[in-house]
A and B are shown apart, each in its own frame.
Chain A
Amino acid sequence: MKAKEIIKNIIDDFDRSCAAVTSSEEWNEVRVRFLGKKSAVTALMKQLKEASPEEKKALGKAINDTKAYMERCLEEKKKEAGRDEQKKLPDWSLPGRGQIPGKVHPLTTVRCQMEDIFIRMGFDIKQGPEMETAWHCFDALNIPETHPSRDEQDTFYLNKKNMVLRTHTSPVQIRTMLEQKPPIYMIAPGRVYRNDVLDASHSPVFHQVEALAVDEKITFGDLKGVIYAFLTELFGPQVKTRFDNSFFPFTEPSAEVYMSCFCGGKGCSVCKGSGWLEIGGAGMVDPEVFRAVNIDPERWSGFAFGFGLERMAMLMYGVPDIRYFYENDLRMLKTI
């Protein structure tokens, strides 16, 4: 077949194909077919090598014209096809496609945030049993049967001798100190139990995050510093702390820890007008506790403190009732 005829056939074929294009996919197919490496035009180019010089010139021009023609047509067609595609723009108001992922519970979120800060400070995470011996839960923590502070624990007793549901995460301190020599820097997040009324701010089952540091030169100033560093990291640099004297059998001196309310001290319903939020107990490890775990209180000193996880989460998210955390209403779990 003569080259001219071939070119004519190509152009006829191209015109038909080009006219039929309705989408950018089809447009692309046509482009590849007529201008790509395997196209008829490319094949013709190869023939050029064998042609005579005059033929080469004439055919070369014809091929180039053809290519230019096709490119022009495709350019036109592209605009047209683009116009068609505009009609198929996505509906932005529709949701994205795919399974909507679930969420972790808000108490987990807060716990992880707290753990994260402490881990960065150099604390390890420790755990212990919830069904605990009275010795670990009380006696070793200087809360003997003979002292009234034992009653204030609101303990749930188990039907096994000397076993209780732990009333705080402090027995994990005891277990850790028995297991490992100082220096110790640990936190113990965990579930605890109190035989207490169930109301908007009390739950018989709740969580604490306990911290313990035992080293050669730990001071009350360190206790204040670590709590301050922790709270400002969690709630922001505007937070102020206040430490009031208090009593816990396992710390001496002991303190009640407060942080400034989000109202900036003006007083609001969250802080009941005081400007301060009670968030936990703290103190220097009592020498009796060290003695119970064979750590020499003349060489080592330490601090311990414990915060309520639910309390933290309530403050963080503005949850008004502790019971909501245990109802697990999906509407809350999805929102927070």
Chain B
Amino acid sequence: MKVTWKWLNEFVDLKGLDIESLEGRLASQGLHIEEIFRPGEEIRDVYIGYITKIEPHPDADRLKVCSVNMGERGVLQIVTAALNVQADVYVPVAVHGAVLSGGLKIKRTKLRGVVSEGMFCSLQELGLAEHSDGICLMTDLPEPVAGDPAHPYFSLDDTVIDFEITSNRADCLSVYGIAREVAMAAGRSLIKPLIEVRESDIPVERCIDVELREKEKCLRYTARVIQGVTVKPSPLKIRARLGLVGLRGINNIVDATNYVMWEYGLPLHGFDRNEIRGEKIIVRTAGSEESFVTLAGQQLKLSPDDLVIADTKQGIALAGVIGGGNSEISEQTKDVVLEAALFDPVSIRMTAKKHNQKTDSSYRFERGMDFDLASVSSLRAAELIAQWSGGSVCKGVAERRNEAFQPHRIVPLRLSQVSRHLGVSLNEEEVRDIFARLEYHVEKKTEGTLLLTVPSNRYWDISREIDLIEEVARFYGYDKIPESLPQMTMKKGRSDKKSLFKEKAEKHLLSNGFYEVYLYPLISEELVKKSGYEPGQVPRVTNPLNREMEYMTPEPLLGLLKAAELNMKRGMKEIRLYEWGKGYPSPDCEEEILSFLCTGDAPKTVFSQGYELGFYDTKAVFEGLLGELLPGNIEKRASRRSLWAPETGFVYLINNEKIFETGRLRDELTGFFDLRHDVWGGYGHVGILASQVRAGRSFVPFSIYPPVYYDLAFVTDSALPAGALAEEIISEGGSLLENCRLFDLYEGKTLPRGKKSLAFALTFRSQERTLTEKEIDAIIQRIINRAKKKFQAELR
């Protein structure tokens, strides 16, 4: 909500203050300033000029050469392409060195060979309009002085203050409402300016009749009539002020209603009286098939929930939302019917929402307008219309209202509740004082309870005791309430299995060099399909930010591919990532998923050879994870998911429930993300994994006798898994074999084709005694025999 400093000063005398000095106090009252803007600091060197002569440009039909009297600044020659340029008018002129809105700099220049010493300005270039409709001809000003700075003529010496107004504070959607808060903040009093309207002898009833059929949806309807208006642009100063607060000048009638809406808050509407059939305004609901054309030319299909303002034949406005094209103020308008009404916020909100007609008017009405505002707003608009259009105001107001509606709520406040909620005790006098300053009527009900009459401008916002307590806190000052800590009672502490699991799992990820990432769980339809899901089954956002973020991801692992792609593109070579994410395979399912992947190369270092990241790096992680689970019924099967390249995917299950999958990502997926290396990864179902986590293990007694070491190397078929041979060794080694470690795997020239060498380091140790060489030799011989018998493995 933009207001200007000078406009505020029409309602509260702020002499000696500036907005910066009030900013902190206003913020604590709940009025945050978003921006303070002084157009005069941006726009420089614009002066008033008088065009004395216009001549054609010798070399360009579109251009004209003007002589401009700049008073003390001499006479300038300015070349212009403006269509509306004319002689003998005052115009704002940006001279050499001037700066205009948006930082546009003006310099002396040559246009098609003719020197131009400046530029005529439109309201747009002065920052007062969104679009330019030609240069600004200052025709309605009594006595501009050529050579004067343009700033005061265009209100550019004013300060624009943009307030952020929360949705409960409809009372602050006006200069007047903000002035009320500013007055409180500054400790000055609010001025209620005198509004003077000279009414004619013609009673309004003779011109218009009002029938209010819907008293729940329209609480009050008033109409005034102004006769004999001349519709034309409103005064320049007004257009400039409207421009400063972001409104567009249209004509003097519409500008007057907009000006008053900004000033007092209430949206007003002007109808062309001659377009109202039957000289009657009927406030009614729409018929079930009724259609309505807005003044923007949009055709709407109404329903009986919608409130319309109608004449005896048809709807002429969608109440409180938008006017109709059929009764709009035009240049031909002679008599104006001025509506000032109060509509029910919910009704307006639902209609505006349904028809997608969010207007300045609906914005205000749906937040709740002040019942009492209708009179003053109507009077003020009549004053301005009469002043700007030369019309005469008919006598009186045609008004209908819901008599049962009481705009001044009475709410009781128990003083004990103030301290109960705020933690600070205020005495009755202090509370009374705050409410008196806020224009509440205060009465004592019983000892300790006050009866407060809420001003009509806060009707929609303040209806409960707690709302009053906030008012007390707001003006007592949040900063004065002392800090304290709650007096808690002790309770049972509970440990959490999931966080225990997460902690254990994370240990394996981190120690293996994986980095945690955070991803958007929103993906495109294409990616949903690529992941093997039906888009129809996956939860979809109906109003996505863009197509790339339309579906909830059923497969968080895909997000990791994207993060891997980004890092690859930025030159990272060694990529190990994991995420504690969620999968959303259906609208009823939202499951915590731990995903991880690795791709790229681990570089060669002083201590180790480089290698391509792959299966063994992911195995380090899932082996670690599985090791944290309760031992026993974990089962491993080949995975059938299309996520994995053929034969690489495996799934682990507990009691037939999947806990974990791992494999190499299918080339089609990695290719989609422009990843050229193999990508190995996996994901786990956090909930089930956490339920299976093992808290600790039992102590295993260890031997104090000396170990005997023995190395054994076998030559086997290349296809034989090392683990199979190790199992046989362990089994044959029996209880004396403490450890069996594969320390070398060799395939190469010195071996026959199709063969490999597996070398194991064995540690033997007894729980009871020192082992003898003889004992060990016997075991080794049995191991060799068994390896030979089972796998035709030869000792190397």
Interface residues of A (CB under 8 A from B): 94-95, 97, 99-105, 107-108, 122, 124-125, 129-131, 146-149, 152, 155-160, 163, 165, 183, 185, 191, 195, 198, 204-205, 213, 215, 217-222, 224-226, 228-229, 242-247, 252-256, 284, 286-287, 301, 325-331, 333-334
Which of chain A's residues has its CB closest to B358's CB? A151
Q: Kindly identify which residue among A124, A131, A242, A287 contacts B590, using a CB–CB cutoff of 8 Å.
A: A131
A221 and B422 in contact, given A146-B349, A246-B30, A326-B519 (Cβ under 8 angstroms): yes
Segment of B371-379, B471-479, B691-699 engaged in the interface with chain A: B471-479
The CA-CA distance from A222 to B549 in the complex, in Å, is 41
Q: CA separation between A43 and B605, bound complex, in Å?
A: 51
CB–CB B539/A287 < 8 A: no
Are A215 and B366 in contact, CB atoms less than 8 angstroms apart? Answer: no
Complex contact B518–A156 (CB within 8 A): no
Give the 10 A-B residue pairs with the shortest CB-CB distance, closest first: A219-B423, A221-B423, A245-B30, A247-B166, A253-B470, A225-B483, A328-B517, A243-B478, A105-B516, A221-B484
Known A-B contacts: A122-B488, A160-B539, A163-B539. Give 20 more (CB < 8 A).
A101-B513, A103-B516, A146-B345, A157-B541, A158-B552, A158-B587, A159-B540, A163-B587, A191-B521, A215-B488, A217-B486, A222-B485, A224-B478, A244-B27, A244-B28, A244-B30, A245-B30, A247-B166, A329-B570, A333-B516
Contacts of A198 in B (CB 8 A): 545
| Residues of A with C-beta under 8 A to B544 | 156
Taking a contact as CB atoms closer than 8 A, the residue among A97, A102, A217, A330 that contacts B607 in the complex is A97
Task: Tell which of B259-267, B575-583, B646-654 binds the partner.
Answer: B575-583
A107 vs chain B, min Cβ distance (A): 6
Question: Provided the pairs A104-B510, A131-B590 are in contact, do residues A221 and B482 lie with their beta carbons within 8 angstroms?
Answer: yes
In chain A, what residue has the closest Cβ to B420?
Answer: A301
- A203 and B488 alpha carbons, distance in the complex (Å): 37
Instruction: Find the residue from B466, B491, B513 having the highest chain A CB count within 10 A.
Output: B466
Is the Cβ of B520 less than 8 Å from the Cβ of A205? Answer: yes
Q: CB within 8 Å of A: which residues of B? A: 27-30, 32, 166-169, 345-346, 349-350, 363, 366-367, 419-424, 464, 466-467, 469-470, 473-474, 478-479, 481-491, 494, 496, 506, 509-522, 539-545, 549, 552, 563, 566-567, 570, 572, 575-578, 582, 584, 587, 590, 605-607
Docked CA distance A330–B27 (Å):
41
A132 to B466, alpha carbons, bound, how many Å? 29
Q: In the complex, are the beta carbons of B488 and A185 less than 8 A apart?
A: yes
A147–B543 Cα distance when bound, in Å, is 20
Number of A-B contacts defined by CB within 8 Å: 221
Specify the chain B residue showing the minimal Cβ separation from A128. B590
Q: Are A159 and B587 in contact (CB under 8 A)?
A: yes
Residues of A within 8 A of B541 (CB): 156-159, 165
- B470:A219 contact, CB within 8 angstroms: no
Known contacts A245-B474, A329-B567, A330-B572: A159-B590 contact under CB 8 Å: no
Contacting pair A253 B489 (CB below 8 A): no
Is the Cβ of A256 less than 8 Å from the Cβ of B32? yes
User: Which residues of A have CB within 8 Å of B478?
Assistant: 220, 224, 243-245, 253, 255
B515 touches A103 (CB 8 A): yes
User: In the bound complex, do residue A130 and residue B518 qualify as a contact, i.e. CB atoms below 8 Å apart?
Assistant: no
Determine the distance from Cα of A35 to Cα of B567 in the docked complex, in whole angstroms: 62
Whether A131 and B366, one on each chain, are in contact in the complex, defined by CB atoms closer than 8 angstroms, is no
What CA separation (Å) do A29 and B491 show in the bound complex? 64
Contact B518 A219 (CB under 8 A): no
Within the complex, the shortest CB–CB distance from A270 to chain B, in Å, comes to 18
A213: chain B residues at CB < 8 Å are 486
Whole-angstrom distance between the Cβ of B508 and the nearest chain A Cβ: 10
> Which B residues touch A256, using CB under 8 A?
32
Rounded to whole Å, the gap between the CB of B177 and the closest CB of chain A is 15
Shortest Cβ distance from residue A282 to the other chain B in the assembled complex, whole angstroms: 10
Give the distance in Å from the alpha carbon of A253 to the alpha carbon of B30 in the complex: 11
Report Cα–Cα, A152/B422, bound state, in Å: 28
Contact between A156 and B486, CB atoms less than 8 A apart:
no
CA distance A329 to B571 in the complex (A): 10
Tell me how far the C-beta of B165 lies from the nearest C-beta in chain A, rounded to whole angstroms: 9
Residue of B nearest to A107 (CB): B518
Q: Find chain A residues with CB under 8 A from B563 CB.
A: 327-328
User: Given A102-B509, A213-B486, A226-B485 in contact, is the A247-B30 Cβ separation under 8 Å?
Assistant: yes
Tell me, rounded to whole Å, the shortest Cβ–Cβ distance linking A85 to chain B. 21
Q: In the complex, are the beta carbons of B567 and A328 less than 8 A apart?
A: yes
Chain A contacts for B486, CB-based, 8 A: 185, 213, 215, 217-218, 222, 225-226
B605 — which chain A residues lie within 8 A by C-beta? 95
A217 / chain B contacts, CB cutoff of 8 Å: 420, 486-487
Of B350, B489, B567, the contact of A183 (CB 8 Å cutoff): B489
Select A204's contact among B424, B520, B566, beta carbons within 8 Å: B520
From known contacts A158-B587, A253-B474, A327-B566, infer whether A205 and B522 are also in contact, taking CB-CB under 8 Å: yes
- A55 CA to B205 CA in the complex, in Å? 151
Cβ B510 vs Cβ A156 within 8 A = no
Question: In the complex, which residue of chain A has the Cβ closest to the Cβ of B620?
Answer: A99
Q: Are B466 and A131 in contact (CB under 8 A)?
A: no
Q: How far is the CA of A102 from the CA of B166 in the complex (A)?
A: 45
Residues of B within 8 A of A220 (CB): 421-424, 473, 478, 481
Chain B residue nearest to A286 in the complex (CB)? B466
**Cβ-neighbour of A129 out of B510, B518, B578, B590 (below 8 A):** B590
B517 partner residues in chain A, CB cutoff 8 A: 105, 328, 333
Most buried by B among A107, A191, A246, A334: A246
From known contacts A102-B509, A160-B587, A243-B479, infer whether A333 and B543 are also in contact, taking CB-CB under 8 Å. no
Flag if A225 contacts B484 (CB, 8 Å).
Answer: yes
In the complex, what residue of chain A is closest to B522 when comparing beta carbons? Answer: A205
CB nearest to A283 among chain B residues: B470
Q: CB-nearest residue of chain A relative to B467?
A: A252
Shortest Cβ distance from A125 into chain B, in angstroms?
8
* Complex contacts, B545 vs chain A, CB 8 Å: 195, 198, 204
The answer to whether B516 touches A131, judged by C-beta atoms less than 8 angstroms apart, is no
Q: Which residues of A contact B514 (CB under 8 A)?
A: 102
